[in-house]
Amino acid sequence: MNTSTAHMAVSARTCADGPSGAAGLGKAGPGKLRRAAKKAKQAAERGMATAEYAVGILAAVALALVMLKVFNAGTFLDTIAKMISSIFTKILGWLP
């Protein structure tokens, strides 16, 4: 095979299969395409994680405000003290 025939054979294969020899993949092989797709998916999910953190922080702040309101109420502390006292009374009543 002479030089021009070899060149034509390489050109025909490149046109049919792309420069890497894999049909339709161009210079990137299947591994590179998978990595690129994975990076694109991770970049898209990065924003979702930020939104989830924001919702979690808002929920934590709301819970803290509710707990602050409940614990600052005088009736709550009285109720807890009465409950603990009744538990100790029952436990001590069971002892011989």
Q: At what angle do helices 74-94 and 30-72 cross, to 10 degrees?
A: 90
Which of the 8 DSSP states describes residue 21?
S
18-38 pLDDT, tens per residue?
Answer: 454 444 455 667 788 888 888
Rounded to whole angstroms, the Cα distance separating 37 from 35 reads 5
40-84 pLDDT, tens per residue?
Answer: 877 766 666 778 888 989 999 999 999 888 888 778 788 888 999
Is 21 within 8 Å of 13 (Cβ atoms)?
yes
User: Would the pTM of this model clear 0.75, i.e. be above it?
Assistant: no
Which of 19, 40, 16, 37 has its CA nearest to residue 28? 19
Which amino acid type is present at position 83? M
| CB atoms closer than 10 angstroms to residue 91 | 9
**Phi and psi angles of residue 39, each rounded to the nearest 5 degrees, phi first:** -65, -40
